[in-house]
Amino acid sequence: MVRPHKNKGVTPEPWRMERCRIVKPDNESEQLDDGLAVYFRGPRSFTTEDVVELHLHSGRAIISSVLAVLSQLPFCRPAEAGEFTRRAFHGGRLDLTQVEGLKDLINAETEGQRRIAMMAAGGTVRARFEELRSGIIGCLANVEALIDFGEGEDIEEGVYEQARSRAQDLLAAIQTHLKDDRRGEIIRSGVRLAIFGPPNAGKSSLLNFLAQREAAIVTPVPGTTRDILELSLDIGGLPVIVADTAGLRITDDLVESIGIERAQNAVRAADISLCVLSLPEVLVETPEGPSLMMPPGLETLIAPETLFLFNKSDLSSPSAHQQVLKLAGARGQHSAWVASLSSGEGTTDFLSGFAAALHDRFNLGEDEFSAEMPLITRERHRVHLESARRFLQAFLDTSPADVVLGAEELRYAAQALGKVSGLIDVEDILDAVFKDFCIGK
């Protein structure tokens, strides 16, 4: 039972924090805590229902005694996991994308995750999906009007063409969202980065440098790392799952060859890969001048977007540093750095350049709610958006003579998008739009 300090009566003023004595209902002289209470009157509360929040001292005994007293009240029970959010969803306060965003916000460990979660929790994602859905419903309203009234007498000409051109624009917008290289999903769940290269190049040293601890074993013995070692790190605000792999070389050793196969698979499965090479070993003098000699077994794993770290710069001259970058550039490898993981030379530039390359790759702009931020952050969104795309395409492929079938495709497209937010039935919006639709002249 909560008793205001000043005896103002039992009905508290809503949305106003009041200092209270927390007492036992059957024995008001027994005070459990001295705290604060605020009454949120529905629907202006998180759950849209009436809510009372108690602010108590956080001692374990205080909390358990207050909870014990509360659970004796016939109308009180402890909330189930996620129950407040579930009630907020049922009350229409949040849609599913906001619920997901809220969960991600609580779990966010990096700046990128926080920003993308904030966009969902704050309703920006909801609004963007809703915009697409109401666009489709606008098309549907046109088509339904044709079905009900027929072109000519009651309804202006060209209504079907209008619906088609609007549907084409919407289809283009959806296709752009779908072609996002899974950026949103990657930012949310982490970029998979594979470090690869020949043995002894300094791959494990790089992992340790990024993790700022001795996570991997580093020795002068080539072939030290046998299996994949993965760590979740925050690099420039992005969650990155970094995998250190076995050095790639031809070997008869069974264990090492399994490790090498795993390394190759990790590189192929990664979102981004970083090749570590020992600068003095790959920069060789030939009769034609300096040349970049790639160790065997690497070429098939190198792509234009592969990042390069030429390590062990302490063992070569400054002119060699310039030469190696020039030669890498000539091969089309423009994201390359020279550093020494032993002496620390060049590592600051490498780290900032590497973080910038990640940001560029995943297009994480500076603006918190930039339109550049990817819309899709989960497979669930992608599935519904993909199905909306298919239905819209089916509408566009339907002959104008089959206007009833066309309307059905649009209805399915709108429903598919409605499943992302999980909130309103398509008919609700249709009624609203249709009401304002101009019929006749």
Ligand X SMILES: Nc1nc2c(ncn2[C@@H]2O[C@H](COP(=O)(O)OP(=O)(O)OP(=O)(O)O)[C@@H](O)[C@H]2O)c(=O)[nH]1
For ligand X, the binding residues in 227-256 under the rule CB under 6 A are 246-247
Name the minimum Å distance from CB 207 to Mg ion: 8
- The DSSP bridge pattern shows strands 289-292 and 307-311 to be unpaired
Residue 200's binding partner among ligand X, Mg ion, none (Cβ under 5 to 8 angstroms by kind) is ligand X
For ligand X, the closer CB: 132 or 248: 248
Site for Mg ion in 67-86 (CB under 5 A): none
What the block records as the tokens of 10 is 């039992």
52, 37 in Cβ contact below 8 A? Answer: yes
Q: C-beta of 380: minimal distance to Mg ion in Å?
A: 38
Neighbours of 182 (CB within 10 A): 16
Contacts of 288 (CB under 8 A, 6+ apart): none
Nearer to Mg ion, 95 or 256 (CB): 256
Task: Identify which of residues 341 and 376 has a Cβ nearer to ligand X in the complex.
Answer: 341
In this structure, what token pair is assigned to residue 416? Answer: 């598919």
User: Measured from the CB atom, is 224 or 363 closer to Mg ion?
Assistant: 224
Which CB, 106 or 221, lies closer to ligand X? 221
Return all residues near 224 (Cβ < 8 A) that are at least 6 apart: 199, 200, 204, 217, 218, 247
DSSP-assigned letters across all residues of 278-306: EHHHHEEEETTEEEE-PPTT-GGG--TT-
Q: Compute the least distance from the CB of residue 341 to ligand X, in Å.
A: 4
Closer of 199 and 374 to Mg ion (Cβ):
199
For the CB of residue 300, give the shortest distance to ligand X in the complex, in Å. Answer: 18
- Binding pattern to ligand X, positions 305-344, x when CB under 6 A? ------xx-xx------------------------xxx--
CB atoms within 10 A of CB 387: 16
Among Mg ion, ligand X, none, partner that 124 touches (CB below 5 to 8 angstroms by kind):
none
The length of the chain is 441
Residue 349 belongs to what H/E stretch? helix 347-361
Q: Which does 222 bind (CB under 5 to 8 A by kind): Mg ion, ligand X, none?
A: ligand X
Stretch that binds ligand X, among 92-100, 107-115, 151-159, 213-221 (CB under 6 A): 213-221
Does residue 218 bind ligand X (CB under 6 A)? yes
Quote the least distance from Cβ 35 to Mg ion, whole Å: 55
Residue in 45, 113, 225, 306 binding ligand X, rule: CB under 6 A: 225
Both structure tokens of 172: 């283009």
124-149 vs 96-107: helix axis angle to the nearest 10?
Answer: 170
- Closest to ligand X by CB, 117 vs 218, is 218
Q: Is 118 helix (H, G, I), strand (E, B) or coil?
A: helix
User: Using CB under 6 A, which residues numbered 180 to 209 contact ligand X?
Assistant: 199-205
**Rule CB under 5 A: is residue 225 a binding residue for Mg ion?**
yes
Q: Give the span between the Cα atoms of 275 and 289, in whole angstroms.
A: 24
- Please, which residue, 134 or 342, has the CB nearer to ligand X? 342
Q: How far apart are CA 319 and CA 348, in angstroms?
A: 20
Query: Would you count residue 311 as binding Mg ion (CB under 5 A)?
Result: no
Rounded distance between C-alpha atoms, residue 309 and residue 335, angstroms: 9
* Residue nearest to ligand X as judged by C-beta position: 247
Taking the C-alpha atoms of residue 408 and residue 19, their distance in angstroms, rounded to an integer, is: 58
**Shortest distance in whole angstroms from residue 311 CB to ligand X:** 5
Task: Order the strands of the 272-278 sheet from edge to edge.
Answer: 229-235, 238-244, 191-196, 272-278, 307-311, 336-338
Cα 8 from Cα 423, distance rounded (Å): 41
Distance of closest approach, residue 198 Cβ to Mg ion, in angstroms: 11
Q: Is the backbone of residue 438 left (phi > 0), alpha (psi -120 to 50) or beta?
A: beta
**Shortest Å distance, C-beta 45 to ligand X:** 56
Residue 314 interacts with, from Mg ion, ligand X, none (CB under 5-8 Å by kind): ligand X
Stretch of 14-22, 189-197, 223-231, 378-386 contacting Mg ion, by CB under 5 A: 223-231
- Contacting residues toward ligand X, per CB under 6 A: 199-205, 218-220, 222-225, 246-247, 311-312, 314-315, 340-342
Residues that bind Mg ion (CB under 5 A): 203-204, 224-225
